[in-house]
Chains A and B, each alone.
Chain A
Amino acid sequence: MIFLEIPTDNNISTVLFFGTVGMLALTIGLIVFIIFHQRKVIRYQSKLQLMEQEQQKMLLNASIRLQEEERQRIAADLHDDAGPLLATARLYLNENLVNLDKQSQLQSIYNAKQIIDDTIQLIRNISHSLMPPTLKNFGLESAVNDLFQKISGSGSMNASCRFHDYRERLHADQELIIFRVIQELINNILKHSNSSFIHLTQNLNGNNLYIRMHHDGRGITQADFEKLNKSNVGLGLKNIQSRLKLVHGQIFFEKDMSQTYYKVTIEIPKTEEELSRT
């Protein structure tokens, strides 16, 4: 109650001294607290940045490795399949052909034609596996339908897909990325899950496109996905993530409520260009 007392010299100096010192201490304390707190935040941010960089590096490595693997596969396809076929065709069409009788000549030409037809088919297959023509010409829905029909046709698995709201096609690059992600996921399911069915659905909710896949085999959850993503294994999963990063998409792995199905959800936001189109 020092403020309410009649001021004396002594009182004034006490109030002034303690008041000023207190205020200064408060100010300095506040500033020091802000600086130290910010330093802590900066340290945390740098740590996060470092982790992000490491993750980026891993994703880049994975995509480079995958690219090399793909090149090796194409090279092997061309070298082991197309090479011998063309060499055999060449054998049929050698210089000695003119000296043979007409019957043998016709036979040789027929054989060579057959082999060249096979080679054409083979090269068609390789090019289709690189870039499916259905995707380019008819869009994601047709390409995914085509893929699922092929899987169903093999008889080992029941695959079905349903696009609920895909009236307008996405950008061609975006469609390709989504298709590759679906391909990779299906590849994983076929390779590891041992499931009896795959079901894919597409939905549109607000500005996001959702693609959900269900299967009843062995699957992974989000925690497994994060773990695999941080480790050196799981090249395909890293590739999925780096692809989805390009379209600002997200992927979620979860187990169904009934604990029998595994569910994979891909969420892709629409680009501004698409939003302005609608």
Chain B
Amino acid sequence: MVVSAPIYKSNRFWIVFSIMVYTSLSFFLFLQSSITPFQIIQSYWDINLVSNILKNIIFAIAFVIKDETPTNSGDNRKNELIFRTTPSYKP
């Protein structure tokens, strides 16, 4: 049995995390932007800047981190099966 590596050691996790953080922080800002005057929305625009910076930092982590999650390299029985290596039996 192979013990799986922690999820935070995978780049994909960090990429998904960054998208989630960005979306969750800017979601209501974008939602409100259509019904709010531009001047008011501008005063809250810092939220978007912060979320953007956070997203970029987390993206950077995703690119820097070394992926340690095991890749699925197919049939594990291949190496164990002794009969494949022995010559075929001919009665």
Contact = CB atoms under 8 A, between A and B. Distances in A.
Contacts, number: 82
A52 B1 contact: yes
B77 interface: yes
Interface residues of B, number: 31
Interface in B1-45: 1, 3-4, 6-8, 17, 20-21, 23-25, 27-29, 31-32, 35-36, 40, 44
Interface stretch (A26-34, A101-109, A254-262): A26-34
A46 interface: yes
Contact of A49 (B3, B40, B83): B3
Nearest to A245: B80
B20 A31 contact: yes
Q: Which has the most chain A C-beta neighbours within 10 Å: B24, B44, B47?
A: B24
Interface of A: 7, 9, 12-13, 15-16, 19-20, 23-24, 26-27, 30-31, 34-35, 38-39, 41-42, 45-46, 48-49, 52, 139, 169, 171-174, 246, 248, 271-273
B81 interface: yes
A7 B36 CA distance: 7
Contact of B83 (A15, A31, A271): A271
A26 B1 CA distance: 33
B83 A273 contact: yes
A27 B24 contact: yes
Given A16-B32, A27-B24, A246 B4 contact: no
Contacts of B3: 42, 45-46, 49
A68 to B, nearest CB: 23
Contacts of A41: 4
Q: Which has the most chain A C-beta neighbours within 10 Å: B4, B28, B36, B47?
A: B28
Interface of B: 1, 3-4, 6-8, 17, 20-21, 23-25, 27-29, 31-32, 35-36, 40, 44, 47, 77, 81-84, 86, 88-89, 91
Given A45-B1, A48-B1, A169-B89, A23 B28 contact: yes
Contacts of A273: 83-84, 88
Contact of A35 (B6, B29, B44): B6
A238 to B, nearest CB: 19
B1 A246 contact: no
Contact of A172 (B7, B35, B40, B89): B89
A139 B89 CA distance: 12
B83 A174 contact: yes
Given A35-B8, A48-B1, 16 more contacts: A12-B40, A15-B28, A15-B32, A16-B47, A20-B47, A23-B28, A35-B6, A35-B7, A38-B4, A39-B6, A42-B3, A45-B3, A139-B91, A171-B89, A173-B83, A248-B81
Given A49-B1, A271-B81, A19 B20 contact: no
B91 A45 contact: no
A173 to B, nearest CB: 6
Contact of A23 (B6, B25, B84, B91): B25
A47 to B, nearest CB: 10
B68 to A, nearest CB: 13
8 contacts: A15-B28, A19-B28, A24-B25, A27-B21, A41-B4, A169-B89, A172-B89, A273-B88
